[in-house]
Amino acid sequence: MSLHAWLTGGSPKPGSKRKLPNNNTNDSPRKKFSKEISQNPFDWYQKDSENKWHSTLCRSSNMDNAYSRGHEKPAKTTNRVRHASSQHHLTAVTKSKLSTQQPLQKLLANKMDRDEEIITQYLKCAYYLAKRELPNEEFPHIFSLLSELGCQTLSDGNSYTCPKSVSEFQSVCAKVVSINVIEKVLNAGVFSLILDESTDRGNRKRLFVYIQYLHERKLQTSLHQYFELG
């Protein structure tokens, strides 16, 4: 601005204040927060069949508050924000999320039940091999036979038949059987051990340890443990 223009009309009047430039590009944090709140649609805040404004989340969760019962005039934005941070509303939001996850939880429960059934079949087959003193290499053949006979759990592609895992399955079964046998042996008071070295169909030598004891006045013989000798 030139000196002549400033002297003729551009100078401010005595006692007046110069206007600051209007800059709307940078809003203060407080104004920005208020703007975002005012633009929040509040999807949970709707009208019911009686034209009452209410919180759909609180009403569906059976919460006892003003937003669950509803009101004719819509609440102010600040009141809605205050209700959104209340414990009733937060609990209703949590219940709503859990209800949407129920189908997934049901699928997971069914999957776990199915996996438990398959694992039970594995353990039964491994226990049968040990009881009949059959080699672990027969494990996949037993599964194949059960599948052909119509065992549904083994006919749906569930055929994990690694022979190296048979020993682990048998070890799990042995722990359960051993607990029952030891309890009976302790109740009998007397027992004896039988050692038997044999060679299975896989040409591997094994040492079997049997326990003999009296149970209900009858002589019982149970396999206690076995060792692979080579």
pTM of the model: 0.38
Domain presence at residue 21: no
Same-domain check for residues 152 and 177: no
Q: What is the DSSP string of 155-211?
A: HSS-----GGGHHHHHHHHHHHHHHHHHHHHHHH--EEEEEEEEE-TTS-EEEEEEE
Range of the domain at 191: 166-228
Same-domain check for residues 114 and 147: yes
Domain count across the chain: 3
Domain presence at residue 127: yes
Task: Specify the amino acid at residue 164.
Answer: K
Per-residue model confidence (pLDDT) at position 39? 42
Polymer length of the chain: 230
pLDDT at 100 over 70: no
**pLDDT, tens digit, 9 for 90 and up, residues 158-217:** 556 666 677 777 777 777 777 888 888 888 888 899 998 887 777 778 888 888 998 888
Same-domain check for residues 160 and 191: no
Same-domain check for residues 160 and 178: no
Domain presence at residue 101: no
Per-residue model confidence (pLDDT) at position 93? 82
Same-domain check for residues 146 and 170: no
Confidence category of residue 113, pLDDT binned at 50, 70, 90: low
